[in-house]
Structure 1
């Protein structure tokens, strides 16, 4: 037996390290790829996971199995694409590198506690199989909310995978492992099975609603890249065409993080509608839970259907009519049906009383007692309905919708941003010899008193009870999430300014008449600040951290040797 082959041997440790680093580029895009099939004895089962050494818990595997097939797949002949989102198991280590999250818009940040599953399900008749049908799903599991990119990839790889199976999947994963990591603000060329997808990942510094992506080609790139104009945006018009006249109400429900169930005929429709609703409040991050596709087998089913407490702040997309009975105590249920035309316009669903909710035969409609704070935008509705009659392309209708929702959200959020900025201490109050000043506390009443001069009426034509909407927003998880994010960013900005003022100060001069205790205390505090700055990826002027590092080293070097050895050992 080779002595190096034992437990903890260098050979084995090196192999393990190679295995981890081998898939580092792949794992910056995808957690894994799963193949879920129907087994006569087991039901839905994972047939294959790639890379093979990826660590999924049994609970996560079970969830992926149930979420990867349509709830009732008897009517899903052919190919079906949809999206799900599942909670990661407790104790799982999150993704540590947050450089991407630092630079990405909040709505596109990598998930730390959930996975997305992007599904391509195929069901076709096959007499060689006992049940008479071939039923299989190819699932891309990722922490990134890149819906359009991953579904575009599946359209390229899934049909070929169902013919060529595992060796083909291995080749695709190896190709993804050659991609550059996702980098906000960068245009990337991503080769996949003979196609090159060209994408640009939005950056936090981009202007919301900016111009679309332009194609950038490299002369030596063959084949010519296929430009994806978006990573994540959906066809909003297709998602909302049955509820256009209620768009204002749905935007408010999303803004306030209200418990909401979207019931639709297929997982494609329910998952896209949930994701469209979440994106309706962009650039504000939706900070509640949401499940684009949810089934009765989900681990959280009991948690969400208990009658002993109020429903949680979550948006669920479902297809099984059983949920009408299970969710009868929920305040808002949107039931979508197949598209029916009234003349040349899609028939709009009506708002109905919750008491009208029946089991199974419930008609399409929005079942709620909610009264919107703001009036409908009749001009927008007329414009969209006229666009349908004039056969305006869906992309153009979606662009109108997206701009309207962006302007509406910005009108709501700008007064909050302006007030929040007023809570920031003045730059001159940051001095090298004192702890940085703190952000002033947020006063809801003080904010509301500013609305007469800085309120949304300055940028929005919509009338209504904006004050009431803000008061209710203050009680929602979306306000809490927005406030925490802004407070963290402002605190980090103060920390950066403090580091820069320390760096510009005469630190060596300060130490000349100080005792060893005071100098050691300064060194320890500066070290702590440096560690925190690097861990948080604080954005400071070039050279600041290196300059402080060099200063610490020179001060330590000037101390007696016994103190030096103590400090260097820390």
Structure 2
């Protein structure tokens, strides 16, 4: 407790001194820590927030309060961990410089979406006859922009019990510790001191995004732990453990997710539904799932009416729910995964046709009338089921499943990557004296024509209607997200090539015989390009930037002194 008291004193003394700058490092990792309690008159209410300078809108506060407790039907006694995802206020949907730099280097699946917060919840419900309702009910919630489901679940599992034992003092100490953490930088192993322990974590880098099987399965980059060290990968989803009941339908679920079909996950606890929703969004890695998804959703959520509205059709969202009421209100949704009470043990869930009978059928299973475009990989499924019978380690089973899903996604995406690379204009079209060309437009007909010789058949033996699946994918948010990102990358690459050509050009020769107005225009253009390099992260080397500065001086030196002085100071 001595360390906690010392940290709490630092927290109090430093709070009023340069508040926003003081908590800059804290906000790189966490937006705030909330304590939600049950009030007899108000219901679930926000009791306190740390650091105290953080403000939440009324709607954000309401959503956090309702999401911080398991549904009353869940009957969760003791301690429960789960993960929520909720919308942030539109005015706050802006990335900081640190988060922008993080997004540019991390794998797509771990990128920050500024429109959402992640909430890492630790809920405690125990009998207490001293309280009016006879129960102690309270949650501690870490609210963060970062989708680090494993790391923050472990961190909240340290912070919350300490808070329940020692009160506000421990939360103040934890905040002070977090404000000392290094910047979250992909590709680095980081040490994060917290309440007498040190968390060691490795944030994957996008250059290794194709090896997520290793990076997300464990801490292969972290050193051996010592007595007070806790090793924690930022994400650690045991896909096999989570998908055990639906193994025989895994390829169909992959299709539903990659085309962003509306999907409900119904479970008896928020922990089970949140893990299943997270796993579904990762099923298409390294492709980023770009549609909306709520790992745990309640009838009190501000988006409830939007998702239950039958007039406008079902939105492309994956929802995790526990309240049986959703079976009635969302019965028009086309796909449902209903998890059983014994979730986590192997059982073969049946595929049941969707319809009104789903409202009354509470048995575990996959409810859908979807007809897959591709054949399922029966050999892979048999191999995994055989591994269950031979008690093959879960880590190995999960790695095998991830490998299958990764290969399936790669087979699907490689033709798209090849095609989009062909949209780059030829190098001969890049001139130092003209604006950079733009990539060619995406033409589905040209893409399908290319599939005959460079399609998925080159990398997988899975047969089926690949063209039909691509057509459905093109209408999904996942395609829009992927294409917009790749098109932007191509455009920046073309600008970089044009800047390289300009840095290599002999501008001393070019200025000869040119009118002053044309020379001045070139000076302003080069200055603007140098500025864009800094603002838009155009991928050019430091050497090219220096050469551009030299070309700028080459031109300016050819001008009369009065004009030279004006341009050098402007």
When the two structures are superposed, what TM-score results if normalisation uses the length of structure 2? Answer: 0.91
Mapped partners of 1:311, 1:73: distance in 2: 25
Map residues 484-503 of structure 1 onto 2, 5 A cutoff. Answer: 484-503=484-503
Map residues 410-429 of structure 1 onto 2, 5 A cutoff. Answer: 410-429=410-429
Q: Which residue of 1 aligns with 2:39?
A: 39
SS in 2 for 1:282: coil
Q: Which residue of 1 aligns with 2:359?
A: 359
Mapped partners of 2:346, 2:171: distance in 1: 41
SS in 1 for 2:348: coil
Q: Which residue of 1 aligns with 2:4?
A: none
Work out the number of aligned pairs and report it: 551
- Report if aligned partners of 1:500, 1:541 keep a CA contact under 8 Å in 2: no
- Report if aligned partners of 2:196, 2:228 keep a CA contact under 8 Å in 1: no
Mapped partners of 1:422, 1:129: distance in 2: 68
Mapped partners of 1:537, 1:401: distance in 2: 37
- Report if aligned partners of 2:507, 2:554 keep a CA contact under 8 Å in 1: no
- Report if aligned partners of 2:107, 2:209 keep a CA contact under 8 Å in 1: no
Counterpart pick for 2:231 among 210, 227, 234: 227
Structure 1 residue 216: deviation in Å?
A: 5.0
- Report if aligned partners of 1:322, 1:360 keep a CA contact under 8 Å in 2: no
Q: Which residue of 2 aligns with 1:374?
A: 374
Q: Which residue of 1 aligns with 2:165?
A: 163
Structure 1 residue 453: deviation in Å?
A: 1.7
Residues 358 and 249 of structure 1, relative CA distance in 2, 3 Å threshold: closer
Structure 1 residue 301: deviation in Å?
A: 0.4
Residues 467 and 78 of structure 1, relative CA distance in 2, 3 Å threshold: same
Structure 1 residue 557: deviation in Å?
A: 7.2
Mapped partners of 2:475, 2:221: distance in 1: 44
Structure 1 residue 507: deviation in Å?
A: 2.6
Residues 123 and 557 of structure 1, relative CA distance in 2, 3 Å threshold: farther
Offset from partner CA, 1:431-473 (integer Å, 9 cap, x none) = 2111112211111111111112211122112121111111111
* More displaced stretch, 359-368 vs 99-108: 359-368
Residues 46 and 562 of structure 1, relative CA distance in 2, 3 Å threshold: farther
SS in 2 for 1:355: coil
Q: Which residue of 2 aligns with 1:5?
A: none
SS in 1 for 2:36: strand
Confirm or deny that 1:174 pairs with 2:186.
Answer: no
- Report if aligned partners of 2:106, 2:204 keep a CA contact under 8 Å in 1: yes
Mapped partners of 1:248, 1:450: distance in 2: 25
Q: Which residue of 2 aligns with 1:298?
A: 301
Q: Which residue of 1 aligns with 2:324?
A: 321
Structure 1 residue 135: deviation in Å?
A: 0.9
Counterpart pick for 1:286 among 282, 289, 302: 289
Structure 1 residue 428: deviation in Å?
A: 3.9
Structure 1 residue 73: deviation in Å?
A: 6.0
Structure 1 residue 109: deviation in Å?
A: 1.0
Mapped partners of 1:337, 1:460: distance in 2: 34
Mapped partners of 2:501, 2:547: distance in 1: 12
Residues 67 and 123 of structure 1, relative CA distance in 2, 3 Å threshold: same
Residues 224 and 166 of structure 1, relative CA distance in 2, 3 Å threshold: closer
Structure 1 residue 546: deviation in Å?
A: 3.9
- Report if aligned partners of 2:209, 2:286 keep a CA contact under 8 Å in 1: no
Mapped partners of 2:462, 2:94: distance in 1: 42
Map residues 439-454 of structure 1 onto 2, 5 A cutoff. Answer: 439-454=439-454
Offset from partner CA, 1:485-528 (integer Å, 9 cap, x none) = 10001111111121122112223432343223212222222222
Mapped partners of 1:103, 1:525: distance in 2: 29
SS in 2 for 1:191: strand
Mapped partners of 1:542, 1:37: distance in 2: 53
Structure 2: runs of 5+ lacking an equivalent:
1-13
Offset from partner CA, 1:337-366 (integer Å, 9 cap, x none) = 12289xxx7332222222243436532222
Mapped partners of 1:207, 1:110: distance in 2: 16
Map residues 54-69 of structure 1 onto 2, 5 A cutoff. Answer: 54-69=54-69
Structure 1 residue 16: deviation in Å?
A: 8.6
SS in 1 for 2:514: coil
Offset from partner CA, 1:300-350 (integer Å, 9 cap, x none) = 000111111111111111010101111122111221112289xxx733222
Map residues 47-446 of structure 1 onto 2, 5 A cutoff. Answer: 47-72=47-72, 75-97=75-97, 98-206=100-208, 208-209=210-211, 211=214, 213-214=219-220, 217=223, 223=227, 225-228=229-232, 230-339=233-342, 346-359=346-359, 361-446=361-446
- Report if aligned partners of 2:189, 2:221 keep a CA contact under 8 Å in 1: no
SS in 1 for 2:210: coil
Residues 564 and 326 of structure 1, relative CA distance in 2, 3 Å threshold: farther
Mapped partners of 1:46, 1:459: distance in 2: 53
SS in 1 for 2:355: helix
Offset from partner CA, 1:116-165 (integer Å, 9 cap, x none) = 11111111111221111111111111111110111111222221121112
Mapped partners of 2:292, 2:322: distance in 1: 18
- Report if aligned partners of 1:209, 1:403 keep a CA contact under 8 Å in 2: no
Structure 1 residue 568: deviation in Å?
A: 6.9
Mapped partners of 1:93, 1:527: distance in 2: 31
Q: Which residue of 1 aligns with 2:531?
A: 531
Mapped partners of 2:343, 2:96: distance in 1: 48
When the two structures are superposed, what TM-score results if normalisation uses the length of structure 1? Answer: 0.91
Offset from partner CA, 1:510-567 (integer Å, 9 cap, x none) = 2343223212222222222222221122221123224434554675576567656765
- Report if aligned partners of 1:432, 1:502 keep a CA contact under 8 Å in 2: yes
Structure 1 residue 476: deviation in Å?
A: 1.1
SS in 2 for 1:245: helix
Cα RMSD (Å) of the superposition?
2.4
